[in-house]
Structure 1
């Protein structure tokens, strides 16, 4: 990859002082945009891909509330990197806005793991990358098909409140939704891209954010997105949050437990899909009745059920019976490989690490995050300050606990969910499509929970069939650390943005040709 950096323009004071550096006296300084644009070229097998990268913080302003009108007041400085390929014809390129979740995660994961023109060599389960960490050219970047904007939510990355503002005003579902939507509106206006097809890509809580933001863009601004990519989605927290009286997570996690057990040799000689199919059938048919029976369940039936569950998820049936047939996910991840002295990953159940306490009831740390994060931390800091020439006086927050407590105040006495937002958007916007990506070994946002929520969306059956594409990968939450899954997901994203997947459905012969190949 050859870089040809260009100096920041006059309206992009990348080399100037930060807002924090210009504060003085009792009155907060007026913040300014700090953007640096550099020129790059990515060598692809089909030829060079020339693009610009604009990295830095933009100041978002709001109209003050009250009777007296005033000019917009600065309230946030959001960090983003925009990758733009110069136009070659009259048709505007699509633009994809991407973000991770947490809450508290920066967008480094999608940025350097999957979507951007440069990608981190992170390694995989059993072979995480050792330092010195490095970046590689990403020949599968979505930039081939769409311009890309990766943006960090408040208090993640370099995003911070404007001087005199408090960050916690943005630490909540509705507040975060409004902030990201405002950023998108601002970007479209600054870059004169209002007629470009707009795509959103979110991962984990970023899928909660993407669904809420897309609905808000339509409800508030009448901006209809062309599509939403939901990578490792959670659309209804009631399906994954273990709480008293809520049996749904036990049902939805069971197929994931079975898949993780398969990854660690607990179903020797069987195909992963066969194991998953059996677990899903049990979770949907027999398991709900067993849990609903409670104390009414005959002891012999309970013992038989525990044996069935233990065989499916690779643990001692006595342990399942003592858990009253209800296996919590952190407990499972500590129990599965206890005899080997290992704990299993939550973000990706294929990862393992030595147990600090062999008798611990729950996993104490997540080996998948622990083994992947250092490569992302090193490379994003080197990349931003080196190739993209942007620096800041604050720390780039890869993962920040400072966003907590996260507010869900609009969901008092009910489950936090955005499925209704997604359904409302699909009813309002007939051209919006959805790409859903599940990792079989993801114990953070289990695939069966997502399947269930999507199947219950309040949309016509034909819309569910025609406008929602669901894909699966033999990896975890960040399935792109698994090279075959990264290649497959990149291909699926490309097909989705370019419309190649729809063309294949419309042309039966195309499907036959693909099957033959």
Structure 2
């Protein structure tokens, strides 16, 4: 018995004395994992020059594979990446580097790469709709390259990134697995290209913001890599805000201001809205006040309560009072996108509620496809990335570039079984440990994938120390999930991002 107790005591002592790292809710490991290391590079390099922000930038592109092995030298994976680095920088301390990825899970980095951050981009209409094919790639004066070197990462099974031959892909496909592998890639890149002394930033979109929050802890605690800034585009770090289910009222509250913004955009409200910002603020206050308290009553609502709910929700969403009553005053995305403009036989986009579609069946409960994806962006961006990597960057492979793929399914959330993933705590802890870390959230008013009010709620519940609250900033745009496809929003976002880099790096 004593021997057994001693064994437990020794194990506890090892746990207490070990360095721990945190990757998100429910994740804390005392044992250091077997890291992935770079085994070789297989890349195409070229030199380029272009005018960005009134400056001529001479830069190098590096596109291709970083092959990764474990510490025993066994091949595990090959990450595809595209890096843009300014020429003739003698001291890495003088040049920031930003690691960029999209989300999904299952999305390549194509959207941020070819939509607004890289030096070349797909040409769209100013409103963010597709032009007539074949499409055109143009110079991007809004690229972030004037402020930072850029490394676009495709996580495993997206883009051209794949597991090594014979390796089980499931070791990369999950919340913990993804953060470990992408974090190891970043460490390997920083070491290989001698960027440890550069200011370091992350930028993710959608689930890429979930990844960014997780990486803020993993890179810091696992490798001692402290970040300067994170740019969160269309963020989600608390999935309880997005998961519609019976008995869980939070998402209905979180989505109401976005429904209202989209209804106002399409003039679908009983009253015309002249000041969008003021209207959204009014709906915010209603959502977290009277609407939230009404939903808390459940089926104890009185007839007077229901009448008040129907009146307000009709004013704010344009949906009929009868329809609202039938939904118990709880509106799901899949229904809203079909119901809002049903009288016009049009649907609205989930990624961007400004963009409209047409279905075969106008009586259906949900739309046949998301017009803001299938109609607006999928074709142009697919052409852009395939043509650009092959023809302009000179990287050749027979693999299909996986734009947004189901190859990552099923995605492993075992770290939060019977819970909602919420890794905003990882981000809070990273800021508390590194008070120089600044985070900017970029929000689209017409985004039904990651609504801005849910991001505000999440940040408000991080419980940052009062002296660190200014480490977080919020920006808003009259666009959708891919904020940058709307030209006025892209211009504004670029201005905000450039100011963010300047602020973070100011001594």
TM-score, L = length of structure 2: 0.89
What residue is the counterpart of 1:50 in the other structure? Answer: 58
**Following TM superposition, by how much is the alpha carbon of 1:59 offset from its aligned partner in structure 2, in angstroms?**
0.7
CA distance in 2, matches of 1:315, 1:128: 29
Q: Which residue of 1 aligns with 2:400?
A: 395
Report what 2:253 is aligned to: 251
Within-5 A mapping of 1:224-263: 224-263=226-265
Deviates further, 303-312 or 494-503: 494-503
Gap change, CA 1:223 and 1:357, over 3 Å in 2? same
Is 1:454 the equivalent of 2:455? Answer: no
1:132-211 superposed matches below 5 A:
132-211=134-213
**Equivalent pairs, count:** 466
1:41 match: 49
Q: Secondary structure at the match of 2:297?
A: helix
Contact 1:125-1:368 at 8 Å conserved across structures: no
Structure 1 gaps of 5+ residues are 1-29, 64-70, 504-517
Q: How far off is 1:168 after superposition?
A: 2.0
Q: Deviations over 1:219-260 (max 9, x none)?
A: 111111111110000010000110222100000000000000
Question: Structure 1 residue 124: deviation in Å?
Answer: 5.2
Does 2:378 align with 1:373?
yes
Q: Which moved more, 1:261-270 or 1:271-280?
A: 261-270
What is the aligned partner in structure 1 of residue 74 from structure 2? 73
**1:463 is aligned to 2:468:** yes
Q: Measure how far apart 1:261 and its partner are.
A: 0.4
How far apart, in 1, do the equivalents of 2:126 and 2:57 lie?
Answer: 28
Query: Cα distance, 1:103 vs. partner?
Result: 0.6
Paired position in structure 1 for 2:112: 110
Alignment partner for residue 493 of structure 1, among 492, 497, 505?
497
Q: Secondary structure at the match of 1:285?
A: helix
Alpha-carbon spacing, 1:352–1:207, altered in 2? closer, same or farther (3 Å): same
CA deviation after TM superposition for structure 1 residue 72, in Å: 2.7
Aligned to 2:357: 353
Q: Give the Cα–Cα distance (whole angstroms) in 2 for the partners of residues 186 and 92 of structure 1.
A: 20
Residue 242 and residue 133 in structure 1: after superposition, are their counterparts in 2 closer, same or farther (change >3 A)?
Answer: same
User: What residue in structure 2 maps to residue 61 of structure 1?
Assistant: 69
Pair 1:331 & 2:335 matched? yes
Structure 1 residue 458 displacement after superposition:
2.8
Q: CA deviation at 1:107?
A: 0.3
CA RMSD of aligned residues (A): 1.7
1:301 corresponding residue in structure 2 = 305
Aligned equivalents of 2:77, 2:139: Cα separation in 1: 32
Does the 8 A contact of 2:228 with 2:504 survive in 1? no
Tell whether the 8 Å contact from 1:87 to 1:93 is kept in structure 2 after alignment: no
Q: Is the 8 A contact 1:122 1:376 kept in 2?
A: no
| Structure-2 residue corresponding to 1:12 | none
For residue 269 of structure 1, report the CA deviation from its aligned partner.
4.2
- Pairing partner for 2:387 from 374, 382, 385: 382
In structure 2, relative to structure 1, the CA distance for the partners of 1:129 and 1:277 (3 Å cut) is same
| TM-superposed deviation, 1:122 | 2.5
Gaps of 5+ in 2: 1-37
Distance of 1:222 and 1:45 partners within structure 2: 34
Deviation at 1:41, TM superposition (A): 0.7
Residues in 2 aligned to 1:270 and 1:502: alpha-carbon distance in whole angstroms: 38
Q: Does 1:480 align with 2:484?
A: yes
Q: Secondary structure at the match of 1:56?
A: strand
Secondary structure of the residue aligned to 1:203 is strand
Deviations 1:398-439 (A, max 9, x none): 110111111110001211111011011011111110011000
Native 8 Å contact 2:310 2:329 kept in 1: yes
Give yes or no for contact 2:268–2:340 (8 Å, CA) kept in 1: no
**Which shows bigger deviation, 248-257 or 159-168?**
159-168
Q: Distance in 2 between matches of 1:86 and 1:39?
A: 9
Does the 8 Å contact 1:239/1:249 carry over to 2? yes
Taking structure 1 as reference, are residues 125 and 330 closer, same or farther at Cα in structure 2, changes over 3 Å only? farther
Residue 195 of structure 1 and its aligned partner are, at CA, apart by 0.3
Question: How far, CA to CA, are the matches of 1:196 and 1:445 in structure 2?
Answer: 31
1:332-379 CA-to-partner distances (Å, cap 9, x unmatched) read 111000000011000000000112211111223110011211110001
Aligned-partner SS, 2:134: coil
Contact 1:303-1:321 within 8 A present in 2 as well? no
Higher relative contact order (CA 8 A, sep 6+): 2
Q: Distance in 1 between matches of 2:471 and 2:52?
A: 31
- Matched position secondary structure for 1:499: helix
1:180 and 1:174 map into 2 onto residues whose CA distance is 10
Q: Distance in 2 between matches of 1:147 and 1:500?
A: 15
Q: Which runs of 4+ in 1 moved over 6 A?
A: 500-503
Please say if residues 59 and 85 of structure 2, whose CA atoms lie closer than 8 Å, have aligned partners that are also in contact.
yes
Looking at structure 1, the residues matched to 240 and 195 of structure 2 have their Cα atoms a distance apart, in angstroms, of 38
Per-residue deviation, 1:469: 1.2
Whole-angstrom distance in 2 between the partners of 1:202 and 1:99: 5
8 Å CA contact retained: 2:236, 2:450: yes
Whether 1:423 and 2:428 are equivalent positions in the alignment is yes
Residue equivalent to 1:435: 440
Find the aligned partners of 2:372 and 2:293 in 1 and give their Cα distance.
Answer: 34
Q: TM-score, normalised by structure 1?
A: 0.88
Please name the residue that 2:25 is paired with: none
Q: Larger deviation: 98-107 or 486-495?
A: 486-495
Is contact 1:495-1:501 (8 Å) kept? Answer: no
